[in-house]
Chains A and B, each alone.
Chain A
Amino acid sequence: MGKSVNKFFGFISRYRRHRFAGPLMLLSGLLFAGIGYTVAHAATEEVQVVLSSDKASLISEGKEIFARGCSSCHGLNAEGAGAAPSLIGVGAASVDFQVATGRMPMADMSQQAMRKDPVYDERETAALAAYVASLAPGPAAVTNEELFWERDGNTAEGGELFRTNCAMCHNLAGQGGALTQGKYAPTVMGVEPKHIYEAMVTGPQAMPVFANSVLTHEEKLSIIKWIKFVETEPSQGGAALGRVGPVTEGAVGFILGLGILIGIAVWLTTKAR
């Protein structure tokens, strides 16, 4: 078995610079994705039936999904390779955040992992999380129901914490902002509470880790509560103009304000017929 694998990789490394290698890889990638999707879809339906599988089977199922969908970048044993980091010790929280928000698997390696429709469903995500968590201990995934942010959080305190710890990247109104070299911090509007929590605990992509020892569990709940408040807050003064501050305000002042007035001035100074 090992020998044949070696042979396989030998083949790959010999021909990887072949001029057809690129298109071929793309084709096979698409093919695999298609097959993977179909298989996964079928698997889901199966899983729906076999609900009562225990933890061990969840892990083995996760291992399978991992081998199919993740190992090409993260390595067969999640040890990481090149730009794809090792997943040993990142914990279930990280997997849940990355996979359930659709960031992983990435669509395009050249850019930042973006939020999109998730590829795997809840069950598969849980299986992947269980598998990665089984490799080494790490932060556990949470559910929305476990986070009593409405009860334990404090909006005002959350705002204060958000402004100190989060606003520099995610903007004062949580609209997101630019980082270096085309990277960006995404908006925090419309994100599930558990994903906000998991992002703080695990530090996905460029985001640093905010461990519970530095930013306590209750403080995280407060931040979530504040974000949820801002998300549903009516815009008190009319159209919110994207809540991105003076740039759009200036544009509106020029185009709408001065524009209308100049239009009226033109009417005012033309002779009536």
Chain B
Amino acid sequence: MSARERVAGGTASFIDERTGAAKWMKKTLTKVFPDHWSFMLGEIVMYSFVILLLSGTFLTFWFDPSMREVEYEGSYEPLNGIKMSAAYASALHISFDVRGGLLMRQIHHWAALIFMAAMVVHMMRVFFTGAFRKPRELNWIIGVALLTLGIVEGFLGYSLPDDLLSGTGIRIAEAIIQAIPVVGSYLSYFIFGGAFPGEMFIQRIYAVHILLIPGIMLALITAHLMLVWYQKHTQYPGPGRTEKNVVGYPLMPVYMAKAGGFFFIVFGVTAFLGAVAQINPIWIYGPYNPGQIGAGSQPDWYMGWLDGLVRAAPPIETHAFGITISWNILIPGLIIPGIIFTLMAFYPFIEQWMTGDKREHHVLDRPRNNPNRTAIGAMSLTFTLVSLINGGNDLLATHFDLSINQIMWFSRIGLIVLPPIAFVITKRICLSLQRADREKVLHGRETGRLVMLPHGEFIEVHEPLSPEKAYVLTAHEQLPALEIGEADENGVANPQGFKGKLRARMSKASQEQISKPTPKEMLELEDGHH
């Protein structure tokens, strides 16, 4: 036994004698993780979160979350002598007078953008492959909560430097709060400690940004990971992969080296962006002043779709009995996002209700094999994308020689018309892909080689698929639609009323499939002439 082995053994024994951890650790270190690039998306999110914690802590050492008015006297000459909040002045100090401060600020901001981007793409992966199905519904809901918190956290974060661009964002947030029926103006006065902008909000959102929300997110991420751990990871369909097993690499050493290495890679790429790409140059924007504004004021991208919705809203307000209800703010700012996030959180249960499938699933769907879900996803993405485009309409207008009025009308109509079109098209594409899969299984892959038969006929040579590939294309199951809404045994038509009818229709839509080859068809082919 080498010296190193003795030390390792000694440490393990020390820990086990005090915690009894050996049994658990033995299981843990041999835990199996399937390998696929799309399973790394969640890791990017987690690592970005760690990067945010580290770089954020660095920034707190100098950041002064105070709206006390100061006169700037730092090394950024064009702001010298300008009155500004201590928060903005300290953000300038970090950028120009702390070595590596600007780098850390930029890493923090880029990490936030990547955090949100990876989170959204991770959720798309989970959605389109059906990874949210039983038993993982709770983890999906935790994910939706994390997304919501992430949006709020990001918004508060870029508001902290108190520059003109972020102040404009806070102004808009205040208008949304103020528009809440009955209590709006009270809430606003409580949050801002009086009239907008007041002298309190930076220190308040600072506490929320660095303590409250990260704390909750950390707890939720822990729960999220524990559930992944406990339920074991899902896997893509393939030979040898079933609902009862999980195929992959053991945590120790392969997965640990890969995942640990990937953390450094994510940090490295973020640092690279922080080095080469300038982000949020607050010194150019100047300190916040409610009487000033810049053309092309946009939020960060994860808020952009909300801003786009607000821009597209119709100009409707209700005035009656001495009160005002601002539908133009409430609908795009609170009601639609509320509906979207609620539907998103409950989607696993909605799908269960539609399909009647309440079994556990550990093997993922290929998106084409669930056309209805894939189409719903494409529909939601289209809606978000159109509103995101509208959120940048002024920049699109100047850079592509368009008019903001045209883009606005395109978005207003597009928000209603395009999502259903995306639904229909996506569903058709999925069904075509299923048809292609079926053909491939039955007749093999088209090789593109043409052969002339002795009697002069040209045929394309089809190459049979390998059993592994063919298995992947047929491993999915196709459930029949639920039979509801028909007359029951007593002859009572549609015992469940409207709800039953709706469910039957939904079920029918969600089970629309191109039936995969049957064993009979396969046998006929084998016996046949081909």
Contact = CB atoms under 8 A, between A and B. Distances in A.
A and B in contact, CB less than 8 Å: yes
Contact of A163 (B164, B273, B283, B298): B164
B30 interface: no
B277 A163 contact: no
What is the predominant secondary structure among interface residues of chain A facing chain B? helix
Interface in A73-126: none
B95 A236 contact: yes
A257 B118 CA distance: 10
Centre residue among A156, A240, A253, A264 by max chain B CB count within 10 A: A253
B78 interface: yes
Contact of A181 (B39, B262, B405): B405
Contacts of A177: 294-296, 394, 398
A261 B284 contact: no
A148 B35 CA distance: 67
A151 B320 CA distance: 59
A257 B275 contact: no
Interface in A213-235: 226, 229-230, 233, 235
Interface string B412-430: 0000000000000000000
Contact of B295 (A160, A168, A239, A247): A168
A261 to B, nearest CB: 5
Contacts of B291: 164
Contact of A257 (B269, B394, B406): B269
A177 B82 CA distance: 25
Contact of B398 (A167, A178, A226, A260): A178
B13 interface: no
Given A258-B118, A265-B37, A171 B276 contact: no
Contact of B300 (A168, A226, A250, A269): A250
Nearest to B278: A237
Nearest to B395: A247
B301 A172 contact: no
Contacts of A233: 284
A246 interface: yes
Contacts of B513: none
Given A155-B78, A176-B398, A237-B281, A163 B304 contact: no
A166 B413 CA distance: 33
Interface string B260-291: 01100110011001111111110111100101
A47 interface: no
A169 B296 CA distance: 8
B77 interface: yes
B286 A261 contact: no
Interface in B41-69: 41, 44
Contacts of B278: 235-241
B179 to A, nearest CB: 23
A180 interface: yes
Given A229-B78, A246-B300, A238 B165 contact: no
A159 interface: yes
B81 interface: yes
Given A247-B301, A250-B300, A178 B286 contact: no
Interface residues of A, number: 57
A125 to B, nearest CB: 28
A266 B304 CA distance: 29
A253 B294 contact: no
Contacts of B269: 257, 260-261, 264
A54 B240 CA distance: 97
Given A160-B82, A261-B266, A172 B37 contact: no
A252 B404 contact: no
Contacts of B297: 245
B526 interface: no
Contact of A239 (B36, B77, B277, B299): B277
A253 B110 CA distance: 7
Given A159-B82, A184-B397, A250-B304, A258 B403 contact: no
B121 interface: yes
A165 to B, nearest CB: 9
A226 B78 contact: yes
A266 B37 contact: yes
A235 B281 contact: yes
Contacts of B106: 237-238
A184 B301 contact: no
Contact of A247 (B102, B261, B265, B392): B392
A151 B289 CA distance: 28
A170 interface: yes
B295 A156 contact: no
B520 interface: no
A251 B273 CA distance: 13
20 contacts: A155-B77, A156-B80, A158-B78, A159-B78, A164-B289, A172-B294, A173-B294, A178-B296, A178-B397, A182-B402, A238-B274, A238-B276, A239-B276, A241-B279, A245-B297, A257-B110, A261-B114, A262-B40, A266-B37, A268-B258
Given A177-B296, A261-B265, 15 more contacts: A163-B294, A168-B293, A171-B295, A236-B95, A236-B283, A238-B106, A238-B274, A239-B277, A240-B281, A245-B298, A247-B296, A253-B113, A264-B262, A268-B261, A269-B36
Interface of A: 155-156, 158-160, 163-164, 167-173, 175-178, 180-185, 226, 229-230, 233, 235-241, 243-247, 249-254, 256-258, 260-262, 264-266, 268-269
